[in-house]
Amino acid sequence: MVKSCDASLLLVTANGVESEELSSRSFGMRNFKYVDTIKKAVESECPQTVSCADIVALSARDGFVLLGGPYIEMKTGRRDSKESYATMVEDSIPNHNDSMSLVLSRFESIGIDAEGTVALLGAHSVGRVHCVNIVNRLYPTVDPTLDPEHAEYLKRRCPSPEPDPKAVQYARNDLETPMVLDNMYYKNILSHKGLLLVDQQLVSDPTTSPFVEKMADDKGYFHDQFSRALLLLSENNPLTGDDGEIRKDCRYVNV
């Protein structure tokens, strides 16, 4: 979403580059070491042939399959950026407590419609959310749109209104199928069990709520729309031809 699908996120702060990982929008992103592992394996077979951008995109595709989604054909040939866009991150990626109109406009700016945006947020069906991003709905008073019993569970997971960002304090997005990318997310938010403010806004906003109800009823429809939106993301403004480069190390621009 930040300018291009070009692996700019992977660059570390070094040699005049300021990493996008320093942005608050990148909070919680981790395990880049697996991209490095894949890159080393690919470089040993085909030196400077497969970009880090392609590795990230294809990993998203395969992660979708491993989490129970369908396999989708994805183009390759992306090239890697020679720069970081740290100053653009906050203007490109919506925050969890932004208004729904702002969230929709951010996605629309790269060609993803409301239906696709609702589907992509279904990624909140897996993984977990750090307490830092939940406590604003729990303290000093509980958000009235939260299911009271679920709020009590969240308060047990996040007992302090000021959690340590570096501590392992989190709640799972989905308690029933936490590592399956299914349509439980939509069922949960219809039951007022969404963790983030943006999750609850999907239900209350008249533009997005019809899609939420349809995805809650039909997992196949959700998977189809998620696949479509994931493809659009993967093809956002790619660097091709002589633009960019194929990095030798995903963490650094070639010297």
Residue carrying the six token digits 């709640």: 171
Residue carrying the six token digits 């399956």: 180
How large is the C-alpha radius of gyration of the chain?
19
Low-confidence ranges of the chain (pLDDT < 70): none
Residue list for the binding site: 2, 6, 8, 20, 94, 124, 174, 177, 182
Residue list for the binding site for substrate: 94
Question: Which pair of structure tokens corresponds to residue 109?
Answer: 């700016």
- pLDDT tens-place string over residues 34-54: 999 999 999 999 999 999 999
Measured over the CA atoms of residue 200, residue 134, residue 60 and residue 23, the dihedral's sign is positive
- Alpha helix stretches (DSSP H) within 144-183: 148-157
Q: What is the pLDDT of residue 58?
A: 97
Residue list for the binding site for heme b: 124
Residue list for the binding site for Ca(2+): 2, 6, 8, 20, 174, 177, 182
Q: How far apart are CA 84 and CA 10, in angstroms?
A: 9
Q: Are 101 and 194 in contact (CB under 8 A)?
A: no
